[in-house]
């Protein structure tokens, strides 16, 4: 969220940002009228309160001296009534202005490519894409052929876009999670945490999911609780309404959580397999950093996420998102895209973003230095999305006999198992 004074004094910059994001700059045209009306009402109420206080003091003085105070008492009642009549108007204008501010996205960093999604820039490409001398299968076909991936039974108990993993495939999923957490904590220096998977509205507002993206979330009926769309939400809000010591920065946290998204508006997109699920696993990286260091920390966080793909020996590329494709809270985002050989496409497996002080303002997270407190900067990125990693391993590591080779770094997590073999047909 932007500072009110900043928006007031930089409306041309705000409108330029909206144009860069392919949004309507006219959406903020009502700001000045609301802001003027709010300040005028506030001024009127403050003046009336001053008159009320003066009249009240005069009534007290006259009563003490035994003089008649009826005139001032009448004036006091009139002023109080006027204040009472104006306060709802002020509250209404303040709420409208606050809602307008809530829906202004973050500024675009100068290094971001300007334009629609197609203006994105490929920063680098790593690894050779495998070729097969046999009819290779999609990950979902391979998982079903192995007898270890079951969509119909998941649909029976939960509906579409859920999956059940069995046996070695479930173990491989767990191995991927453990490997990612170990890599980030032991090699990259993150501190592991285990946050709730349910959060309140304040947490979702703090990271920018509410109010704009409510339809993408699952809400608990009758409670102010929502299933998390990503661990970014609970982990970022761990320090909500807190002031940290500057010497403690950067704070780097990682967390594995299940994640839940309604995928509103995603009909027809990646409906087969593990790419776009209502429930999925993810290891998330979150940083709280000193403002001057946030762009450096973004590069470092992105490198940490890339390292997972490098260790798994999966082909991937890094994309700098264009301004029109940036998330609401992000000032700059790198997408990591893993190669899926059957469709011959790269698919997003991580988004690594800097939010500058945008989330920190919404969540009121500050740091203190030399007696002065300021908003810190937040960053996050997937390290990585587990289901998509599993899909990429199945497709890239499949062999002609229908088996799947286990990436070398995961073999110890699989108790030495080097291949997943087709299973005996289950009932």
Active site residues: 261, 276, 348, 351, 388
Nearest Cα to Cα of residue 264 among 301, 297, 215: 215
What's the rounded Cα separation, in Å, for the pair 406 and 420?
Answer: 7
What's the rounded Cα separation, in Å, for the pair 150 and 383?
Answer: 26
Alpha helices in 66-198 (DSSP H): 70-102, 139-146, 151-157, 167-182
Whether 308 and 176 have beta carbons less than 8 Å apart is answered as: no
Nearest Cα to Cα of residue 288 among 191, 378, 208: 378
Cβ-Cβ contacts under 8 Å for 310 (sequence gap 6 or more): 126
What's the rounded Cα separation, in Å, for the pair 337 and 103?
Answer: 29
What's the rounded Cα separation, in Å, for the pair 142 and 144?
Answer: 5
What's the rounded Cα separation, in Å, for the pair 89 and 91?
Answer: 5
Length reported for the chain: 427
* DSSP bridge partners of 217: none
What's the rounded Cα separation, in Å, for the pair 284 and 192?
Answer: 10
Whether 217 and 230 have beta carbons less than 8 Å apart is answered as: no
Query: How many Å is the maximal CA-CA distance in the chain?
Result: 108
* DSSP bridge partners of 347: 338
Cβ neighbour number for residue 190 with a 10 Å cutoff: 24
φ/ψ of 197, rounded to 5, equals -95, 0
For residue 87, what are its two tokens? 């306060």
* DSSP bridge partners of 245: 368
Q: Is there a cis peptide before residue 211, judged by omega within 30 degrees of 0?
A: yes
């Amino acid at each position: 969220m932007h500072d009110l004074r900043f928006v007031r004094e930089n409306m041309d910059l705000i409108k330029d940002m909206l144009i860069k994001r392919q949004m309507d700059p006219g959406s903020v045209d009502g700001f000045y009228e609301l802001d003027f009306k709010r300040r005028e009402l506030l001024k009127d109420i403050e003046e009336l309160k001053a008159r009320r206080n003066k009249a009240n003091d005069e009534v007290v003085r006259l009563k003490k001296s035994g003089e008649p105070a009826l005139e001032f008492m009448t004036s006091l009642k009139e002023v109080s009534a006027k204040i009472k009549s104006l306060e709802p108007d002020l509250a209404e204008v303040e709420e409208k202005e606050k809602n307008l501010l809530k829906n202004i996205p973050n500024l675009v960093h100068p290094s971001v490519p300007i334009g629609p999604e197609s203006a994105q820039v490929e920063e680098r490409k790593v690894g050779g894409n495998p070729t097969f001398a046999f009819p290779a299968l999609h990950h979902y076909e391979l998982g079903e052929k192995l007898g270890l991936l079951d969509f119909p039974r998941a649909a029976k108990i939960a509906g579409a876009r859920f999956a059940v993993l069995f046996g070695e495939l479930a173990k491989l999923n767990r191995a991927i999670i453990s490997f990612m957490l170990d890599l980030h904590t032991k090699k990259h220096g993150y501190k592991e945490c285990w946050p709730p998977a349910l959060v309140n509205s304040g947490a979702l507002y703090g990271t920018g999911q509410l109010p704009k993206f409510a339809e993408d979330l699952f809400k608990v009926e009758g409670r102010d609780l929502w299933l998390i769309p990503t661990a970014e939400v609970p982990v970022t809000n761990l320090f909500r309404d807190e002031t940290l010591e500057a010497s403690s920065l950067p704070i780097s946290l990682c967390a594995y959580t299940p994640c839940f998204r309604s995928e509103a508006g995603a009909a027809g997109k990646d409906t087969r397999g593990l790419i776009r699920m209502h429930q999925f696993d993810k290891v998330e990286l979150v940083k709280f950093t000193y403002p001057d260091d946030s762009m450096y920390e973004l590069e470092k966080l992105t490198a940490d996420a890339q390292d997972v793909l490098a260790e798994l020996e999966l082909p991937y590329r890094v994309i700098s998102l264009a301004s029109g494709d940036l998330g609401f809270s992000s000032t700059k985002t790198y997408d990591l895209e893993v190669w899926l050989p059957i469709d011959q496409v790269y698919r997003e497996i991580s988004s690594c973003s800097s939010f500058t002080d945008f989330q920190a303002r919404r969540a009121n997270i500050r740091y203190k230095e030399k007696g002065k407190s300021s908003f810190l900067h937040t960053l996050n990125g997937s390290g990585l999305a587990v289901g998509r990693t599993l899909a990429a391993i199945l497709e890239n590591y499949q062999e002609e006999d229908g088996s799947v080779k286990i990436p070398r770094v995961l073999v110890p997590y699989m108790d030495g198992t080097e291949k997943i073999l087709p299973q005996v047909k289950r009932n």
